[in-house]
């Protein structure tokens, strides 16, 4: 697989989704051996109420701007949830040129101050999952949560980070699906292309997951971490959008009150003696 994003993003996504659908799940009777994984193009077209020739043009990239009604019908056939449907719709919209893409913005001062006083591991990430700022507790939870690190790069290429996740394959699949939702149709952004290329060359597992084109919303969820000092931690992860920040998220880890994991978090010492404010301010150093 090429490390460069395919310019036919809509067609690639439709093909990947089509191949993931079990024909029986959409009411098709399967007999004999099927050489095509998932649904055939003709079956998708019939179920969506469009012509087979038109659907073929969509997959081949000869029509890249179908109507919202057509895309909604395809989303129904593929069983897409709201996040994946929004992603599908975004692929048919005009992409911003390099000149119109928003520049990386600094983390708001108020958020940096919040990181200092939070008594829970917390960090700020951008739409590419680069860590922009973090408090000392986040760095003590995982050394990869330092400003300047990229969470995709850490999870796929750093053995120490991989060891933190007992369900590593599930964690990586979820992270890539969220990454697709985060970047939307901007797969041709040079920074994104470079990151995808690096991970494609460095990890066969990444290549397989990237080819699936899975999409998942950017909300929080459960996280189970095997911390080298504190043992198994059962945590919840909240992701809070930061207004007028170009897509930055404040990510906070917490545990069920009264649980063993909550007690362990109270014992989470900083990774170094530097105060949390210094940790949060390191973001400025990474930009110079």
CATH code of residue 24: 1.10.260.40
- Cβ neighbours for 273, distance < 8 A, ≥ 6 positions apart: none
Asked if 140 and 270 count as a contact pair (C-beta separation under 8 A), the reply is yes
Q: Are residues 203 and 157 in the same domain?
A: yes
CA–centroid distance for 237 within its chain: 14
Range of the domain at 201: 109-286
Asked if 150 and 130 count as a contact pair (C-beta separation under 8 A), the reply is yes
Q: Are residues 81 and 123 in the same domain?
A: no
For residue 108, give both structure tokens.
Answer: 């708001």
Q: pTM of the predicted model, to two decimals? A: 0.84
Asked if 253 and 235 count as a contact pair (C-beta separation under 8 A), the reply is yes
Predicted pLDDT of residue 1: 41
Final residue belonging to a domain, choices 58, 90, 122? 90
Instruction: Name the residue with tokens 């990229």.
Output: 150
pLDDT tens column, 15-70: 999 999 999 899 888 777 788 889 999 999 999 999 999 999 999 999 988 999 99
């Amino acid at each position: 697989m090429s490390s460069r994003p395919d310019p036919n993003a809509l067609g690639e996504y439709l093909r990947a989704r089509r191949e993931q659908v079990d024909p029986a799940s959409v009411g098709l009777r399967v007999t004999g051996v099927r050489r095509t994984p998932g649904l055939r193009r003709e079956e998708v077209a019939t179920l969506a109420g469009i012509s087979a020739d038109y659907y073929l043009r969509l997959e081949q990239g000869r029509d890249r701007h179908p109507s919202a009604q057509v895309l909604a019908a395809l989303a129904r056939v593929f069983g897409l949830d709201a996040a994946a449907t929004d992603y599908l719709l975004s692929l048919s919209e005009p992409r911003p040129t390099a000149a119109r893409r928003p520049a990386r913005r600094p983390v708001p001062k108020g958020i940096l101050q919040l990181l200092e006083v939070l008594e829970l591991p917390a960090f700020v990430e951008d739409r590419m999952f680069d860590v922009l700022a973090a408090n000392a507790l986040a760095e003590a939870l995982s050394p990869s949560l330092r400003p300047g690190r990229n969470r995709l790069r850490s999870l796929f290429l750093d053995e120490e980070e991989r060891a933190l996740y007992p369900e590593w394959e599930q964690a990586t699949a979820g992270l890539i699906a969220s990454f697709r939702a985060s970047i939307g149709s901007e797969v041709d952004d040079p920074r994104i292309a470079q990151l995808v290329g690096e991970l494609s060359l460095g990890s066969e597992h990444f290549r397989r997951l990237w080819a699936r084109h899975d999409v998942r919303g950017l909300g929080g969820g459960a996280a189970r971490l095997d911390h080298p000092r504190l043992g198994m931690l059962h945590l919840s992860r909240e992701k809070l959008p930061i207004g007028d920040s170009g897509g930055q998220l404040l990510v906070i880890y917490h545990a069920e009150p009264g649980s063993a994991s909550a007690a362990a978090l109270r014992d989470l010492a900083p990774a170094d003696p530097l105060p949390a404010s210094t940790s949060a301010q390191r973001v400025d150093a990474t930009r110079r």
